Amino acid sequence: MIWKRQIPILIVGVIGFVTLFANFTTLHGFKSFVNDDATQWFDILASFAIWLGGLNLLKLQSQKILKKQEGWEYSVFAVIGLIFALVAGFVIKGEPAVEWGTHVTAKGTLFKWMFTYMVAPMQATMFALLAFYVASASYRAFRIRNFEATLLLVSGIIIMIGRVPLGSNISSWFCMYLLVLIAGVTVNSIFKNKQYTAISVASGLILVTVSGFIMGWPLDQPGIFYLPYLQEWIYKFPNVAGARSIMIGIGLGIFSTSVRYILGIEKSYIGE
Amino acid sequence: MNDREFIVGSIVLTVAFLLYWFMGHPHFVEERILQFSLVIIFSGTLIFFTRKAKRGEEIFLRNIPGLKAVEEAVGRSTEMGKPVLFVPGIQDMDQVETVAGVIVLGHVSKMTARYETPLNVPVSRAIVMKAAREACKESYLIEGHPDMFHDDMVHYVTDEQFAYAAGVNGIMVREKPAACIYMGKFYAESLILAETGNSIGAIQIAGTASQAQIPFFVTACDYTLIGEEFFAASAYLSEKPELIGGVKGQDMIKMGIVIFILFGVILRLMFDAGFLNFNIIQFLSQK
């Protein structure tokens, strides 16, 4: 029991304590342990563990093929791919002049060919799918259901248009006219009275037009209605404020989780 | 403050450190005294509330809907006779988010063991596979269903980010799990996974501290644990007083930080206006 309970807790506590306090000491031994030794130990462990992963993959996919489970045809590709990668990595270099080890990045080798013409295009394909997923996710997020979703939609439109060249060509006066019309729609939906709507729209239009003539219709004035300025403000202030508050929460969460591990309060990782 | 042991311990440690400091503090990085003090104060607060909770004092914690939904999601899978899919992120065990994800997996696997629901955990790192397997094994043992556990419920897919996303998407489309739980560190694959889960109609719960991925999860998932909620998940799900006390301590530190930020803003305003000759930003930025 001591090997499965107390010893792992002790290792986590000691290593965590050393890692934390290496930040505050000038003793070289602690620093080199944290920056070099510990990371190298982890890499060595990971190198051995990858074989476990590979064998697990091979076992599961082979079982699927042998039992002809649903989608077993894909497993054939997975197994062939695994074997091919192993052969390209350990057996056939494809370019005798290149040294073993450097063959994974050197031009003309089988491994490099596999990476350039098979792995990279397939990864790019998956990555490209993101564009479509972003579109469908945006549609869902921007559907007007409540006040927050409307706010998100409006901010999203301002940021998107304000960040492209088209946005800098849209006059702030155009945005003001648009706002007057939106205000008219709002007045109409609240009071349901044509007169009120007409008065509010007409007075708004007159106010904007008179102001325009007085100011000489500058493209970017008043700045609050000029999309590039507005998007910059949204991006730099409300966005950063929200992001930083989340960051503080994340930092605190990581800190308290780490302290719980170091002090042995959290023992869920050993099943307690 | 009726924790006598804690108070005595704190005083002894403070006196010991002050003695060390006034003796010339050998081997100590002097410029980091502020960081060091904050680490000690924050740790002390966490320990204080943990001890308070351990003594049996009542600790109120706000409700987190995403965590309540975990049991609901497992129950839904049970009713539908479909598996629960748990994705512990794409990073290794050296990331605290992955560790937190594996711990949540331990709680989720307890539920799947209790309800006798199939669990599928595809992982992208071999070390995570071993750790996740151990967590699940322990949970099935604790719940009295060791026979239901099999090694292959936690299986390795690949280390490559998008190949992993493709593999997990394939599992989702073929097996159509009723619940998809994403807890760990994610990058660009987050939206690919969550949108596919959404398309198959699964109830989805995500938890991550990867700030750039939070909006994607919020959009595509039914519940999202944002930042610190994710790290508090283990405490909420385990309902152990010592862990809940830690979460309370975390909340108290947050309150302290809010007060400190307000105080800092006032000090900075006074500095800018010329009423004060102390620049708080410069003081806090020193390394």
pLDDT in tens, B51-69: 888 888 888 877 888 888 9
> Under a CB-based contact definition with an 8 Å cutoff, are residues A140 and B220 in contact?
yes
| DSSP label at residue B26 | T
- How many residues can be counted in chain A? 272
> What angle is formed at CA B172 by the lines to CA B88 and CA B163, rounded to 5 degrees?
65
> What is the distance between the alpha carbons of residues A3 and A9, in angstroms, rounded to a whole number?
10
pLDDT of residue A111: 93
State whether residue A71 sits within 8 Å of chain B by CB. Answer: yes
pLDDT score recorded for residue B112:
95
pLDDT(B287) > 70 = no
Q: B255: distance to nearest CA of chain A, Å?
A: 11
One-letter-per-residue 3-state SS of B73-109: HHHHHHHHCCCEEEEEECCCCCCHHHHHHHHHHHHHH
Closest residue in B to A69 (Cα) is: B174
Going across the sheet that includes B84-89, the strands are: B154-156, B119-123, B84-89, B179-185, B203-208, B223-226
> What CA–CA distances, in Å, run from B65 to A215, B221, B252?
52, 13, 21
Task: Specify the domain boundaries for CATH 3.40.50 within chain B.
Answer: 65-238
Q: Does A129 touch chain B (CB under 8 A)?
A: yes
Q: Do B29 and A46 touch (CB under 8 A)?
A: no
Contacts of B102 (CB under 8 A, 6+ apart): A269, B88, B93, B128, B131, B132, B135, B184
pTM assigned to the model: 0.86
Does residue B285 carry a pLDDT above 80? no
Identify the residue with better confidence: B155 or A4: B155
* CATH number given to B65-238: 3.40.50
**Stretch 155-194 of chain A: residues touching chain B, C-beta under 8 Å:** none
* pLDDT per position as a tens digit, A140-199: 887 767 888 888 888 888 898 889 998 888 889 998 999 999 999 999 999 888 899 999
The whole-number average pLDDT for the span B250-266 is 90
A 10 A CB-CB count for B75 gives: 16
Task: Enumerate the residues of chain B whose CB falls inside 8 A of the CB of residue A265.
Answer: 50, 242-243, 246
Quickly list DSSP for B140-205. HHHTT-GGG--GGGEEE--SSHHHHHHHHHHHHHHH--SEEEEEEE--THHHHHHHHHHHTT-EEE
Nearest-angstrom CA–CA distance, B267 and B280: 7
CB B168 within 8 A of CB B191: no
Specify the higher pLDDT residue, B287 or B121.
B121
DSSP code, position A136: H
Q: Give contacts of B141 with chain A, Cβ < 8 Å.
A: 271
| Cβ separation A25–B27 shorter than 8 A | yes
Q: Number of residue pairs across A and B with CB atoms under 8 Å?
A: 185
| Partners of B86 in the β-ladder | B181
Q: Which residue of A has its CA nearest to B171?
A: A71
Closest Cα of chain B to A189: distance in Å?
29
What is the C-alpha separation between A140 and A122, in angstroms, rounded?
A: 28
**ipTM score of complex:** 0.85
